[in-house]
Copies of this chain bind each other. A is one copy, B any other.
């Protein structure tokens, strides 16, 4: 009973971590690159280094990414593998919705 709730909370934490544009952008970058340093991610998102670092902390705490330090750089990579299928589906859903809206506007 109670561990079931913990389970839901852990699952919600994953969704919550993905529920921010900057973090989602970083995850999408990591879906194409296997491994990127914080500086790479910063240049893609375009925010303060400290902000990027905290976002990465959220993704790591949710178990979505893992990090490995080599030299001066910290490299991040995806730990959760099943994102691409779902992202494609949500993308289709959003495109479908936009089409609906355009139809409605057309009347």
Q: Which residues of A contact B (CB under 8 A)?
A: 5, 7-21, 23-25, 28, 63, 79-83, 85-87, 89-91, 93-94, 97
Q: Do B15 and A91 touch (CB < 8 A)?
A: no
Q: How many copies does the complex hold?
A: 2
Given known A9-B21, A19-B17, contact A82–B91 (CB-CB < 8 A): no
Q: Do B16 and A12 touch (CB < 8 A)?
A: no
In Å, the complex CA distance between A20 and B89 comes to 21
Nearest-neighbour CB distance to chain B for A92, whole angstroms, equals 8
In Å, the complex CA distance between A9 and B23 comes to 11
Q: Do A18 and B21 touch (CB < 8 A)?
A: no
Given known A85-B85, A86-B82, contact A91–B25 (CB-CB < 8 A): no
Q: Do A5 and B21 touch (CB < 8 A)?
A: yes
